[in-house]
Amino acid sequence: MKYLLIIFLCVTIFYTAQINAKVIHVKDGDTVVVLLEDNIQKTLRLAEVDCPESGQPFGKNAKEFTSTQIFGKQITFIATDEDRYGRTIAKIYYENKYLSEEIIRAGFGWWYYQYSKDKNLGILQKQAEDKKIGLWQDKNAVSPWDYRKQQRAVSQF
């Protein structure tokens, strides 16, 4: 009986952690704004993926890809954390797909391995690299975290 109660609580927690929302704005490849059921807007930063910044090659392509996948659609998300800017870090699901996985598979983002344990995402990234899909067409592609570091160094001078 004790184990049934524990299983019930785990299942309940899992399903209550899933939130339904409508995507009303795509800021960039890995940041979207959703409208919750109570008409509150929330900014979500995608978990486990980092897309090129808007000033980087393929930044606009990443934004466009994310837009074509989820803009105006109902999604389900699971909040995993909050970043230093107050954005909710979330795993976004739509049409039985995991958005971060689809972005990496299409070659429009890097597996954010520093914040992810899902090695399957690394495999998908390697496959995209090998096929030269999306940003991997650029043999000198710079990861967003290195790009941001370079920009901070330049701005200090």
Domains recognised in the chain with CATH numbers: 2-155 (2.40.50.90)
Structure tokens at 81: 């954390």
Distances (CA, A) of 16 to 9, 74, 145: 10, 17, 33
pLDDT per position as a tens digit, 1-27:
555 445 544 444 444 489 999 999 999
> Could you confirm whether 53 is annotated as catalytic?
yes
> Could you confirm whether 45 is annotated as catalytic?
yes
Mean local confidence (pLDDT), 43-60 = 96
Q: Calculate ∠ Cα 125-131-135, nearest 5°.
A: 60
> Could you confirm whether 148 is annotated as catalytic?
no
Distances (CA, A) of 31 to 16, 51, 123, 139, 146: 23, 9, 23, 25, 18
Percent of the chain residues past pLDDT 90, beyond the cut: 83
Q: Which residues of 44-65 are buried (b: 16+ CB within 10 A; e: fewer)?
A: bbbbbbbbbbeebebbebbbeb
Position 30 scores a pLDDT of 98
pLDDT of 118 strictly over 90: yes
The active-site residue, picked from 37, 48, 87, 102, is 87
The active-site residue, picked from 48, 53, 101, 102, is 53
pLDDT of 110 strictly over 50: yes
pTM value is 0.87
